[in-house]
């Protein structure tokens, strides 16, 4: 049992997403550097939702992926360590009258779902809030709740194995060009205070948890997508 020394994932690192002002600017600031519609389409194509399947969205934020999956699936479990984020996500679901999302104030280390009960999992730009050891625990939990053949879409900031300083600096500059001073400072805070992982370590954590990495994609030097399966 690790209950007594479990990492406190509810403690905010980097940006404090318990603050309403941070949640208010979350979607518009991410629109500066993400093609959300394209990402949602990638998630749908990889996870292949239908009305018999159940999905887990970890670190659901303002709910964009949860809402998209819910339109095609039986059930979506949307979890986040920020109650403020969850409130924003619930408001979107209420406006669209989406009823098949279960919102829970929990995270990677604390969610409680039965083993082999979930058909697909999405983690988008949130796992970096955990140090590497706790990433490994989180990935093992994800693996255990997935059914055989279940799929995992994982997207995050991942540190390149080579020329990392140059690529991080180039990414900071790119973010500044896309979103001005706000995005530059947001990106600097990420690398100073959060827990992005080296690429070779991230791949090892995924495979050690049991996943098969089917495909990898890299964008802007440090944004990495892993398309994984539980075989």
CATH number at residue 37: 3.40.50.150
* pLDDT at site 84: 98
DSSP summary character for residue 34? -
* pLDDT at site 51: 97
**Axis crossing angle, helix 199-209 with helix 132-145, rounded to the nearest 10:** 40
CB atoms within 10 A of CB 11: 9
* Structural domain boundaries, residue 92: 12-229
Give me the tens of pLDDT residue by residue for the chain, a chain 231 residues long. 677 899 999 999 999 999 999 999 999 998 888 899 999 999 999 999 999 999 999 999 999 999 999 999 999 999 999 999 999 999 999 999 999 999 999 999 999 999 999 999 999 999 999 999 999 999 999 999 999 999 999 999 999 999 999 999 999 999 999 999 999 999 999 999 999 999 999 999 999 999 999 999 999 999 999 999 999
93-121 burial, b for 16+ CB within 10 Å, e for fewer?
Answer: beeeebeebebeebbbbbbebeeeebbbb
Note whether residue 2 is domain-resident: no
Note whether residue 3 is domain-resident: no
Note whether residue 79 is domain-resident: yes
Tokens of 110: 């604390």
Tokens of 86: 């969850």
Note whether residue 186 is domain-resident: yes
* pLDDT at site 31: 87
* pLDDT at site 1: 61
Q: Give me the number of domains the chain comprises.
A: 1
Q: Where are the beta strands (DSSP E) in the chain?
A: 54-58, 75-80, 101-105, 118-124, 146-159, 197-198, 212-219, 223-229
Nearest alpha-carbon partner for 146 in 209, 71, 226: 209
Note whether residue 4 is domain-resident: no
Q: What is the DSSP string of 151-165?
A: EEEEEEEEE-SSSHH
């Amino acid at each position: 049992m690790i209950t007594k020394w479990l990492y406190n994932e509810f403690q905010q690192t980097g940006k404090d997403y318990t603050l309403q002002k941070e949640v208010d600017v979350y979607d518009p600031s991410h629109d500066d550097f993400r093609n959300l519609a394209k990402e949602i389409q990638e998630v749908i194509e990889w996870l292949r939702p239908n009305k018999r399947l159940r999905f887990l969205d970890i670190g659901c934020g303002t709910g964009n992926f949860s809402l998209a999956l819910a339109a095609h699936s039986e059930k979506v479990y949307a979890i986040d360590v920020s109650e403020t984020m969850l409130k924003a996500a619930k408001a979107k679901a209420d406006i669209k009258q989406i009823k098949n999302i279960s919102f829970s104030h929990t995270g990677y280390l604390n969610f409680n779902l039965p083993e082999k009960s979930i058909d697909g999992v999405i983690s988008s730009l949130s796992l970096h809030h955990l140090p590497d050891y706790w990433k490994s625990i989180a990935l093992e939990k994800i693996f255990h709740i997935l059914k055989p053949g279940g799929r995992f879409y994982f997207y995050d900031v991942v540190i390149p194995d080579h020329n990392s300083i140059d690529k991080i600096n180039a990414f900071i500059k790119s973010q500044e060009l896309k979103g001005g001073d706000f995005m530059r400072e947001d990106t600097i805070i990420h690398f100073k205070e959060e827990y992005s992982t080296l690429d070779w370590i991230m791949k090892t954590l995924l495979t050690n948890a049991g996943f098969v990495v089917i495909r990898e994609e890299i964008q802007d030097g440090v944004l990495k997508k892993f398309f994984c399966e539980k075989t």
